[in-house]
Structure 1
């Protein structure tokens, strides 16, 4: 057991692509965690997708030795979708390195995570990274940290993780500035479950931070929120290679395995205690993670349905925060309705299914969870799928989730960003300037953000705007279900819930797009967008027509008329009995473009 005064637990806070994983690599290398030969770039990011996109999806930990001290580094995700996991990882530490890019400056996610870190009463060590870049302005960034965040940056460390500048100074600062953890080994065991993942050989591996007591191999433990008991069969730490230990004492971070088969049993933030001598109360801050964004996943080839079911079940082994249930659609066949923590989470799951399990998928338009108050005091229901919306006469009111968004952008893009937020029913709360950049705070309906808000924001600001949000609860809205009908048949996969004010333009855009995507048939096809029984937009696909009068030359006009009348009758009959086949590509394109207008 390591003495408390020799332990330092810290995490690294940074915006996407500010050099967090590279800095972690350098710290591991400098403290001799891995030899030169064993090193690879972003050594803590296990998934290809993490390395390619430069993002961290799962929290990782590594134990480093430096000048007689044990340093536990928590590499946390930076994205807002994983905000709860980040909060638990931060709760397991006493301090944080705040990494800011010397060329980019403070950005939205840096702020969000730094405030979370301050809430946990952390000692924060500012690090200005990438000082060897030609565009680096360390003094300007130093001032920005002081102005925007309000942290004293006079002793900020100048570093370059790529070239290895300032690494020793960072390690010394961790030992000197970050406080040692507190905890009593004689108390009943209390450990926080920071994260968990599935290993095909070991079962579920659980990342823990011991707050009090001692976690020993062979002990029987209980999960206080989960209500289950397990026998610990392995205790250890990552350096970053696995090292087996006999026990973890107070203040230490490591991992345990206990023959658990499903990640779903190990909720992030749960308290682990001794089954025979349990702690009096659980650690504060635990909550069950609720999916925020829902969409349907359908295989392009219906024969792949069983493969999709198996793949989703296997993915869920490793990621308990996404949910799925079976659904069927007249247009797309059998598939699953899945719930995600946010749009990035949706994108990651979809990409992993496509890559790791070789599946071609159609994703329906993402929707959020609406709360519907039923008329005549029939109670409240939650609506995940627009197709399940009750009859409007039975609805008293509909509430939708809202978020508070903070957007940072250079001054010249401010006008178009304000217009974008205005178009998406945003309510401006605040607008301030920080060192030549604007910081805008908006309340926005989540429904308007899940489509392509982030992509639009990036394209109108040429990638310079950064965006961070958190949910602020539900508000009532004038929302309606818009159905798309092709040849008078409703297409359930294309129905969506929209605000009454934007329904017409949204419907017109969808009809125009489908007109281009659906191939022409031998009869006229009307495409309509409707709210209830009222059609709000319509396009017509013209019929393909054979020239039946080609064989008539000269003679009486009534001969031509007779042939045309005959053709007209045939078309009419065909329209009554003919069915429109919408190709899969048209669905994919219509859903992918989602909301362009």
Structure 2
């Protein structure tokens, strides 16, 4: 039976193609806000980091009402590192809006999200966005979308549906059109097409209750909240329900509160019917994949499988000489408690304490995925240190090691293509496709995840900042040889003092500095990168000898190049196995794991290592 008064749609797109802006305009068109209400842009990106980075990290549900029909809209992340969110939430949808930039066309991570939508057999409507942008080519973008769907195994019926249901839009200017040149100035053609063409949920209203939890929210007041779609039956507040876990175990529970989505918020209700998306309070320790069903007539649903993490990092309490200067929370116990709380709320990460209790290992889908958690914790006042991210290997069952392989795409001016190909070759990558364009070359590679670390900066350097680089997890493949070693050595501070301009002036001839005059440094801290291999210990506090004779150059000021600064992701990619990143609310510093030069030498002797 079709629930004609409900539509469940997901919005899928590559990073920065305008998903969240389009949702803003749909909300405005359906009068979600008062006429005089001040509304911030990208209202769904409610998380601070989402707003600053300009990306969607968490999938979110809203609902709008149009022509008496409730449209549940699911905004999905476009970045592959947050793919765990995408895979699950698409289970709630019957259709998807594929949003594509009219100038850029479908990009690598469009492929990633679209492949999951096609695998779920969703009806796909194409929205060509930014048609008013310079260089826009809506016709080519549409053809590229259809080609991509064909490559990903879409059926003839799915391709035909996508060809017949195309909308041309400019989300930032608030209009959608069935023809790019028809002059329409509002969003109603898009909303009309969703209502008229998107399939209504096909459900069994009279059957036993079956609801599957695909997202877990958390409240300090009521604990875990299970959010998912109701596939059959009706759920009421106060109902006794059977909870079937992914592993097959069963337990009884009671629905204490029930909510449905209402524009940007949730509305408490007494019942929710099949086809709708609901939030259930009262199921303790609910998890992704849990099925809420009728105890007398239990319904079985397929368990939800999430792609496993591909990279891990160890969090430790800070042992820096400057510990406690910036942050309020520095203890190992508080760090462990915070990460264990994250384990409760974040099912896409695997968080486990190390057997020797020295730290907590956090595994995720990529460096961006891990760094979002680190950034959140430093904003909460934590000080901690993390080691170099390491790739998680698998065994193929025959004693052979497999490692994660990424699909990487670089778009750059043709004059730099040779240098980019050389970089990938040195990092274990193999080129799989090359398309030469008038302005840009399009290069595709398969490369081990280990080889990707630190590659973005090197690509930007050889292309003078003109390259666009994307990558996402593809598969597990045979283990490559040794990869990812930093070519140049580091400059390491020999003392705990503030950096002095005179000393830095002499050191900058040897490489690139990471610190400026007056910066707090300590023994073992990385203060720069040499222009040659091999680490050196340097004195960053050396001052000029003052004699009683006047020098002809005495009044010439030291000319310093601004120091190189690192984002959190760049620092994680830069460090080597014997180094750490120290993270505080105000600073990101890189340091050696063993701070003392004498102790480092002893360690190298014990392990049979010698400096080059």
Q: When the two structures are superposed, what TM-score results if normalisation uses the length of structure 1?
A: 0.72
C-alpha separation between the residues in 1 aligned to 2:242 and 2:121?
29
2:406–2:449 contact (8 Å) kept in structure 1 = no
Q: CA deviation at 1:208?
A: 0.8
1:589 paired with 2:593, answer no
| Partner secondary structure for residue 243 of structure 1 | strand
Q: Counterpart of 1:304?
A: 330
| Partner secondary structure for residue 589 of structure 1 | strand
* Aligned pair partner of 2:232 in 199, 208, 212: 212
Give the 5 Å matches for 1:441-460. Answer: 441-449=444-452, 451-457=453-459, 460=462
Moved more, 416-425 or 221-230: 221-230
Give the 5 Å matches for 1:73-84. Answer: 73-84=73-84
Residues 16, 420 of structure 1: CA spacing in aligned structure 2 closer, same or farther, 3 A cutoff?
A: same
Q: Counterpart of 1:287?
A: 305
1:62 paired with 2:62, answer yes
Give the 5 Å matches for 1:27-38. Answer: 27-36=26-35, 37=37
Structure 2 gaps, min length 5: 151-158, 177-186, 498-523, 525-532, 543-579, 594-612
C-alpha separation between the residues in 2 aligned to 1:408 and 1:350?
28
Residues 249, 26 of structure 1: CA spacing in aligned structure 2 closer, same or farther, 3 A cutoff?
A: same
The C-alpha deviation readout for 1:449-494, integer Å capped at 9, x for no partner, is 2x2234444555536524232242242444xxxxxxxxxxxxxxxx
* Aligned pair partner of 2:389 in 353, 366, 372: 366
Residues 313, 4 of structure 1: CA spacing in aligned structure 2 closer, same or farther, 3 A cutoff?
A: same
Q: Counterpart of 2:142?
A: 142
Q: Counterpart of 1:555?
A: none
Q: CA deviation at 1:209?
A: 0.7
The C-alpha deviation readout for 1:372-426, integer Å capped at 9, x for no partner, is 79xxxxx99xxxxxxxxxxxxxxxx762413240415245253333222211112
Q: CA deviation at 1:137?
A: 3.7
1:363–1:591 contact (8 Å) kept in structure 2 = no
Residues 10, 433 of structure 1: CA spacing in aligned structure 2 closer, same or farther, 3 A cutoff?
A: farther
Q: Counterpart of 1:4?
A: 3
C-alpha separation between the residues in 1 aligned to 2:346 and 2:419?
38
Q: Counterpart of 1:243?
A: 267
The C-alpha deviation readout for 1:244-266, integer Å capped at 9, x for no partner, is 22222221112111153x5xx41
Q: Counterpart of 1:13?
A: 12
The C-alpha deviation readout for 1:323-350, integer Å capped at 9, x for no partner, is 3344599xxx954322222211111001
The root-mean-square deviation of aligned C-alpha atoms, in Å, is 3.7
C-alpha separation between the residues in 2 aligned to 1:96 and 1:13?
7
| Partner secondary structure for residue 376 of structure 2 | helix
Q: CA deviation at 1:290?
A: 3.1
C-alpha separation between the residues in 2 aligned to 1:139 and 1:371?
43
2:6–2:71 contact (8 Å) kept in structure 1 = yes
Q: When the two structures are superposed, what TM-score results if normalisation uses the length of structure 2?
A: 0.70
Q: Counterpart of 2:223?
A: 203
C-alpha separation between the residues in 2 aligned to 1:83 and 1:192?
19
2:385–2:581 contact (8 Å) kept in structure 1 = no
1:181 paired with 2:201, answer yes
C-alpha separation between the residues in 1 aligned to 2:345 and 2:191?
33
| Partner secondary structure for residue 197 of structure 1 | strand
C-alpha separation between the residues in 2 aligned to 1:293 and 1:583?
16
2:413–2:466 contact (8 Å) kept in structure 1 = no
Q: Counterpart of 2:367?
A: 343
Give the 5 Å matches for 1:55-134. Answer: 55-134=55-134
C-alpha separation between the residues in 2 aligned to 1:433 and 1:191?
49
Structure 1 gaps, min length 5: 374-378, 381-396, 479-497, 522-526, 528-536, 546-581, 593-597
Residues 403, 221 of structure 1: CA spacing in aligned structure 2 closer, same or farther, 3 A cutoff?
A: same
1:398–1:477 contact (8 Å) kept in structure 2 = no
| Partner secondary structure for residue 308 of structure 1 | helix
1:196–1:206 contact (8 Å) kept in structure 2 = yes
Residues 184, 120 of structure 1: CA spacing in aligned structure 2 closer, same or farther, 3 A cutoff?
A: same
1:274 paired with 2:301, answer no
* Larger Rg computed on CA atoms: 1
Q: CA deviation at 1:19?
A: 1.0
2:404–2:475 contact (8 Å) kept in structure 1 = yes
1:22–1:41 contact (8 Å) kept in structure 2 = yes
More helix by share: 1
2:581–2:591 contact (8 Å) kept in structure 1 = no
The C-alpha deviation readout for 1:337-372, integer Å capped at 9, x for no partner, is 2222221111100100111x2123322110012357
Q: Counterpart of 1:230?
A: 253
C-alpha separation between the residues in 1 aligned to 2:51 and 2:538?
49
1:15–1:109 contact (8 Å) kept in structure 2 = yes
The C-alpha deviation readout for 1:189-238, integer Å capped at 9, x for no partner, is 22221211211223212211111222222222313316343211111212
Q: Counterpart of 2:211?
A: 191
Residues 583, 67 of structure 1: CA spacing in aligned structure 2 closer, same or farther, 3 A cutoff?
A: closer
